[in-house]
A and B are shown apart, each in its own frame.
Chain A
């Protein structure tokens, strides 16, 4: 019995066992501390013979790591307080994922290499076939400005908000932090 086990361990380390046999052996070893210790020793001997370097590992090394992990605290994310916010998020979660994937697909294949002088006539599927998504992430879309981006001055942000509605479609924009009602006099 033990001789068989020893032989199996030796074969396991030499990678001579097939998948099912290896799995069965590991299950068997799991229940026998002595066999686990033997596996560690055989592994160390094998490692030393192959690399001429010998590192001693205590037999209870993996057990101690397991215990440490079990003692780690569990972090729970705080629950959202706003019911409406939660409901809104739940309703749109699937939609957001689907839409984002679709956006990446459409924009990646169509927005990357466009120039005003040259319009490509190609189907979406054709372009996907030529340009795998992995190789053309959406970050590759080039945005060129005539000056470098700088943090938006609060005054400039107010001007921007008064100028057009683009701030509402830009999630990073800073809105005026209060309910604002403005009106224009009209003739």
Chain B
């Protein structure tokens, strides 16, 4: 009997979860393991998003099989809706009205958090550090701080669950240390398999009658993506904060009209900034606006209005906006 007790004790001690520091992983290595776990595991749970002072609780599902993944969110509160991300396509079905919104995103971005694959490239702009251990939703986690080296971006902290390396909580802080937004799982289960949901949205058409094109090869994640269209924006950026680079440009209607809007996406790996340019109209108020962690700064240049928007501090969007110049006609 004593032998059995000793065996059980040794077994319990041996299966004790080790922290990333104890296992010799650096913060960067832990983040990379987390990125891999996020893409390859099947997991589900209840997640609460706190944005703009509002709490939104949703069920979250991540299904993965043979390199293909699907994220699904089901809201628990009104308006009841189901959001599905297949690679770069995000589909949102409102249960009560059966209204459907389908978007093809310019880059693949998770509903939770995106981790760039080459973190060494970001060493000039961010420090990565394991700053502690905590229990979240009764699960042991390592706390990883993503600390910017300047004031052009926000601080992030990721609570990484130790057993499967999944992010269970992410908080975005402003420059003074106040919480801007966060998500947190209240329960999380890893499964062997999870079903892929197939919404038949293929017949959905837009106002001009164009059908959704078939999905081609999925675009690479944000850290790898280069500018992909031959069209160039009609503006130039004279100054950018360190680490930000052009990711994507497109010209397409995004309002409830056919008027095209230039959309240039910048990123420093963690923070994304969009620049929009269109013909000026009276609806837009120049200046600074904030929606939660997202700041935007709009200005008028000649007959064009430009808006810089991103989950970065106000000074960053203003800095980028101030550096925008329109191209000359012969450029």
Q: Please, how many angstroms separate the alpha-carbon atoms of A186 and B227 in the complex?
A: 10
B2 located at the interface, meaning its Cβ lies under 8 Å from any Cβ of chain A in the complex: no
Q: Please, how many angstroms separate the alpha-carbon atoms of A111 and B179 in the complex?
A: 8
Interface residues in B154-188 by Cβ distance below 8 A to A read 155, 157, 169, 171, 173-174, 176-184, 186-187
Q: A143 touches which one: B81, B83, B180, B252 (CB < 8 A)?
A: B180
Beyond A111-B184, A164-B311, A170-B54, 9 additional contacts (C-beta under 8 Å) are: A102-B187, A111-B182, A123-B135, A143-B178, A144-B174, A153-B284, A170-B49, A176-B256, A179-B204
Question: 3 closest pairs, A vs B, by CB?
Answer: A119-B132, A144-B178, A102-B186
Q: Please, how many angstroms separate the alpha-carbon atoms of A99 and B50 in the complex?
A: 14
Q: Please, how many angstroms separate the alpha-carbon atoms of A100 and B289 in the complex?
A: 31
Q: A103-B48, A153-B285 are in contact. Are A116 and B111 (CB under 8 A)?
A: no
Chain B 314-327 near chain A by CB (<8 Å), digits 1 or 0: 10000000000000
CB <8 Å contact, B52 and A103: no
The residues of A that contact B92 with a CB separation of less than 8 Å are 168, 175
Q: B186 touches which one: A85, A99, A147, A180 (CB < 8 A)?
A: A99
Q: Please, how many angstroms separate the alpha-carbon atoms of A152 and B95 in the complex?
A: 24
Closest to A98 in B: B46
Mostly, the B contact residues are strand
CB <8 Å contact, A166 and B51: yes
A19 located at the interface, meaning its Cβ lies under 8 Å from any Cβ of chain B in the complex: no
Size of the B side of the interface (Cβ < 8 Å), in residues, is 110
Number of A-B contacts (CB under 8 A): 260
CB <8 Å contact, A96 and B50: no
Closest to B133 in A: A121
CB <8 Å contact, A155 and B178: no
Q: Please, how many angstroms separate the alpha-carbon atoms of A163 and B307 in the complex?
A: 12
Give A residues with C-beta under 8 Å from B: 82, 84-85, 88-89, 92, 95-96, 99-100, 102-103, 106-107, 110-111, 114-117, 119-124, 138, 141-150, 152-156, 158-166, 168-172, 175-187
CB <8 Å contact, A114 and B111: no
B315 CB, min distance to chain A CBs, angstroms: 8
Closest to B178 in A: A144
CB <8 Å contact, B285 and A117: no
CB <8 Å contact, B289 and A153: yes
The residues of A that contact B250 with a CB separation of less than 8 Å are 184-185
Q: A179 touches which one: B102, B157, B296, B313 (CB < 8 A)?
A: B102
The residues of A that contact B74 with a CB separation of less than 8 Å are 92
Q: Please, how many angstroms separate the alpha-carbon atoms of A169 and B174 in the complex?
A: 20
B34 located at the interface, meaning its Cβ lies under 8 Å from any Cβ of chain A in the complex: no
Q: Please, how many angstroms separate the alpha-carbon atoms of A116 and B158 in the complex?
A: 11
Chain B 70-87 near chain A by CB (<8 Å), digits 1 or 0: 000111111111010100
Q: A85 touches which one: B95, B99, B204, B228 (CB < 8 A)?
A: B95
Q: Please, how many angstroms separate the alpha-carbon atoms of A152 and B294 in the complex?
A: 12
A13 CB, min distance to chain B CBs, angstroms: 51
CB <8 Å contact, A181 and B206: yes
Q: Please, how many angstroms separate the alpha-carbon atoms of A168 and B135 in the complex?
A: 28
B68 located at the interface, meaning its Cβ lies under 8 Å from any Cβ of chain A in the complex: no
Can you offer 23 A-B residue contacts whose CB atoms are under 8 A? A92-B80, A99-B59, A100-B77, A114-B179, A119-B131, A120-B132, A120-B134, A121-B132, A143-B292, A145-B174, A146-B295, A147-B290, A159-B254, A161-B254, A162-B103, A166-B51, A168-B81, A169-B83, A170-B54, A171-B75, A175-B99, A181-B102, A184-B250
The residues of A that contact B219 with a CB separation of less than 8 Å are 186
CB <8 Å contact, A155 and B283: yes
Q: A119-B132, A120-B134, A179-B102 are in contact. Are A111 and B50 (CB under 8 A)?
A: yes
Q: B51 touches which one: A146, A161, A170 (CB < 8 A)?
A: A170
Closest to B155 in A: A116
Chain B 234-272 near chain A by CB (<8 Å), digits 1 or 0: 000000000000001010101110000001010000001
Q: B274 touches which one: A116, A123, A147, A159 (CB < 8 A)?
A: A159
